[in-house]
Amino acid sequence: MEQLLIILVPALPLLSALVNHLASGQLGQRVAKLSIALAVLTFVIAAVLLAQAMAGNDSNQVALGSTWGILLADPLSTLMGLLIAGISLIVRIYSVRYMIEERGYGRFFMLLDLMTATLLIMVAAGDLLTLIIAWHLVGVLLYFLLGFDSRSKTAYRYAFWTLITYRIGDIALVLAAALLFHAFGTWTLTDIFAQITENPGAHRYFGFALEELVGILLAIAAFARSAQFFLHTWLPYSMDGPTPVSALMHAGIVNAGGFLINRFATVFIHTDSVMHLLFAVGLITAIIGSVLMLTQNDIKKALGYSTMGQMGFMIMECGVGAFSLAIYHLIAHGLFKGTLFLGAGTVINEARKSDGVPKDKLYTFVVEHRIAKRQQPWLLMAGITLVVPIIILFFAHWLVAQDFFQKQGAIVLLFFGWVTGAQLLFTTYRMGAQNIWRLVGVIILSFAIIVLGYALISHAFDLFLYPDPQFSSQIHSAAGIDVFWFDVLVVLTTAVIVGGWLLKYYSEQNRLPGQDKIGQLWTSFYALVSREFYMIDIYARLTRMLLKAAARLNILLRWR
């Protein structure tokens, strides 16, 4: 019975796409009702499979061929399957009215059904061939969805841009699969992982361990799909497609990098250097994406850079060994960002009528505050800012796992949480509200609730996805670095953060020498950020150079 359910999850969207294609003329706008009905059934079946996995049932699989067409029902695939089924259902419901006046109404729902089926096959793939095919088709279908309006030149241009970027990741994934097949003689993932676990480092190519080469190639595939820095430009510019497509892309498709790393966790536990690369690239992407988001005046483009920053955090979490936390992050981000995109049109419409700022009690209390008659002592507020967040963070994580603080990756995440909480309280103090203690109390309570919820849920994800404590320990061990360099990085980062706070404080008090030069540097930096670090200009110039080189080659070889 369970094997039938595994097949039905991707088969139902495929059936909906086939019926929509063959009978769209007869069904008309009723194709949307058919698509939604089968999507509801898909969601229910996906929920049943996840419930069975949570109940402790052993992982099951079904194979269409002897070594290919394998679909898994393990904790990771059932969790991701429910997420995809749920988000695609919401997107379909939203699209019923949103796309009603667009040409190709039935074609749009057919493409949505095909995309859903392909994503479900991708996360459930139990062999390399099925994974590669599904991974590639996701990019192709996204190209057709982003370029759905064939009359829009910009939509077509950036859809093609996305397709080309995805091909970089596809090539890396194909090379990784070829190396694994050559080494182990099988396409089946479970057999490959079993052989790696039994004898890691047994195969070497070009002087490198197989796991290192495969890990680097898989990382490149994840970077391209999850819009990491240098391969990110397609994400914020692919906004001319329909809003439902943007919601599906940012809520589900762009998260595929985190899924891929988790699927090949057995490979990554033997690749220390690749884990460090994941952390570095994710950190850079998170910072750059967050900075670029702040300078955008287009709401959808700002959301695009926000997604880039969040994908950076997700990859960074993988780099510090928090694989299950990355899955929780991508699920939470998918639901949150999907909601933002589906509500973006309403926000834009309301902003045209008014400033869109709700004049309620909370807004009046937090923003339209009255300046306090007496400022609180700066040292007292600085102590609260630094001490309170770290107490909350340590207590929350001590509550779920006493050995949490023995892992370097956990310390890194705690450090980032502390910086975030401290920055929030620091900003609150600078606001100077009349009742500062009431405001600080509300923020501390909110922060504590969020941290406790985050810690408890992420710990539950860890137990569900990686119940073997030895394997989980191997993941964190692979992410570790030398203690000396770890301490150096912590000290340097702390110095930069505290120095930034002091610089901001003294600049506001006009106590810094060379205040005008600092202002000029800040203006120059803002100009650099507003031009998006000239990445688009660089890629445009490279494109022109390649086209000129191709034209000269055509003339040289007399191709016509």
* Shared-domain flag, residues 53 and 105: yes
Average pLDDT value over all residues in the chain: 81
224 touches 231 (CB < 8 A): yes
Query: For residue 419, what are its two tokens?
Result: 């910086």
Reported as a single tens digit per residue, the pLDDT across 275-319 is: 989 989 998 998 898 888 888 877 778 888 888 988 998 998 898
Separation of alpha carbons 99 and 31, rounded Å: 12
- Tell me what the mean pLDDT of segment 218-233 comes to: 91
What pLDDT sits at residue 98? 85
Residue holding tokens 């997700």? 314
User: Which burial class, exposed, middle or buried, applies to 312 when counting CB atoms under 10 A from its CB (0-12, 13-18, 19+)?
Assistant: buried
Cβ count within 10 A of residue 401: 15
Separation of alpha carbons 175 and 345, rounded Å: 41
Q: Which of 332, 353, 374 delimits the end of a domain?
A: 353
Query: For residue 75, what are its two tokens?
Result: 């904790």
Torsion of CA 398, 401, 404, 406, to 10 degrees: 100
Reported as a single tens digit per residue, the pLDDT across 402-440 is: 565 556 666 666 666 666 666 666 666 555 555 566 666
Residue percentage of the chain with pLDDT more than 70: 77
* Shared-domain flag, residues 13 and 110: yes
For residue 517, what are the contacts with CB-CB under 8 A and spacing of at least 6? none
Separation of alpha carbons 129 and 160, rounded Å: 25
User: Which burial class, exposed, middle or buried, applies to 327 when counting CB atoms under 10 A from its CB (0-12, 13-18, 19+)?
Assistant: buried
Is pLDDT above 70 for 512?
Answer: no
Is pLDDT above 90 for 77?
Answer: yes
127 touches 189 (CB < 8 A): yes
DSSP secondary structure of 360-425? SHHHHHHTSPPPPSSPPPHHHHHHHHHHHHHHHHHHHHHHH-GGGGGSHHHHHHHHHHHHHHHHHH
* Shared-domain flag, residues 343 and 397: no
* Shared-domain flag, residues 524 and 391: no
Banded pLDDT at 398 (limits 50, 70, 90): low
Q: Which of 327, 353, 379 delimits the end of a domain?
A: 353
Banded pLDDT at 66 (limits 50, 70, 90): confident
The verdict on residue 548 lying in a domain is yes
- Tell me what the mean pLDDT of segment 110-119 comes to: 94
- Sign of the dihedral defined by the CA atoms of residues 34, 35, 36, 37, in that order: positive
Q: Three-class SS string for 243-277?
A: HHHHHHHHHCHHHHHHHHHHHCHHHHCCCHHHHHH
Angle at which helix 105-124 crosses helix 256-263, to 10 degrees, equals 20
Task: Count CA atoms within 13 Å of residue 166 on its CB side.
Answer: 21
* Shared-domain flag, residues 183 and 247: yes
* Shared-domain flag, residues 279 and 155: yes
414 alpha carbon, distance to own chain's centre: 20
Q: Identify which of 253, 232, 129, 234 has the alpha carbon closest to the alpha carbon of residue 187.
A: 129
Q: Which residues pair with 70 in a beta bridge?
A: 63
Q: Which amino acid is at 355?
A: D
What pLDDT sits at residue 461? 85
Residue percentage of the chain with pLDDT more than 90: 29
Residue 192: C-alpha distances to residues 45, 66, 183, 209, 223 (Å): 29, 15, 9, 15, 23
What pLDDT sits at residue 85? 94
Residue with the larger pLDDT of the pair 322 and 360: 322
Strands (DSSP E) contained in 118-233 are 204-205, 208-209
Q: Which of 353, 388, 409 delimits the end of a domain?
A: 353
Separation of alpha carbons 54 and 367, rounded Å: 44
- Tell me what the mean pLDDT of segment 32-41 comes to: 91
The verdict on residue 408 lying in a domain is yes
Is pLDDT above 90 for 335?
Answer: no
What pLDDT sits at residue 371? 47
Is pLDDT above 50 for 16?
Answer: yes
- Tell me what the mean pLDDT of segment 170-198 comes to: 93
Is pLDDT above 50 for 372?
Answer: no
What pLDDT sits at residue 341? 82
What are phi and psi for residue 368, nearest 5 degrees? -85, 55
What pLDDT sits at residue 210? 92
Q: For the ranges 240-244, 436-440, 452-456, which has the lowest average pLDDT?
A: 436-440
* Shared-domain flag, residues 197 and 281: yes
Going by the DSSP 8-state scheme, the letter that residue 30 receives in this structure is G
Cβ count within 10 A of residue 370: 10
* Shared-domain flag, residues 383 and 246: no
Summarize the chain as % helix, strand, coil (round to 5).
80, 5, 20
397 touches 414 (CB < 8 A): yes
H-helix or E-strand spanning residue 72: strand 70-73
The verdict on residue 30 lying in a domain is yes
The verdict on residue 134 lying in a domain is no
* Shared-domain flag, residues 335 and 229: yes
Q: Identify which of 288, 279, 170, 168 has the alpha carbon closest to the alpha carbon of residue 236.
A: 288
Residue holding tokens 């990756």? 409
The verdict on residue 487 lying in a domain is no
What pLDDT sits at residue 214? 95
Separation of alpha carbons 114 and 361, rounded Å: 46
CA angle 420, 426, 430 (to 5 degrees): 145
Give the range of the structural domain holding residue 537, as residue numbers without chain letter: 514-560
What pLDDT sits at residue 215? 94
- The pTM assigned to this predicted structure is 0.84
Q: What is the CA radius of gyration of the chain?
A: 25
The domain tally of the chain equals: 4
Separation of alpha carbons 119 and 130, rounded Å: 11
* Shared-domain flag, residues 425 and 321: no
* Shared-domain flag, residues 370 and 342: no
Is pLDDT above 90 for 362?
Answer: no
The verdict on residue 140 lying in a domain is no
Separation of alpha carbons 376 and 380, rounded Å: 7
Separation of alpha carbons 124 and 14, rounded Å: 15
* Shared-domain flag, residues 449 and 557: no
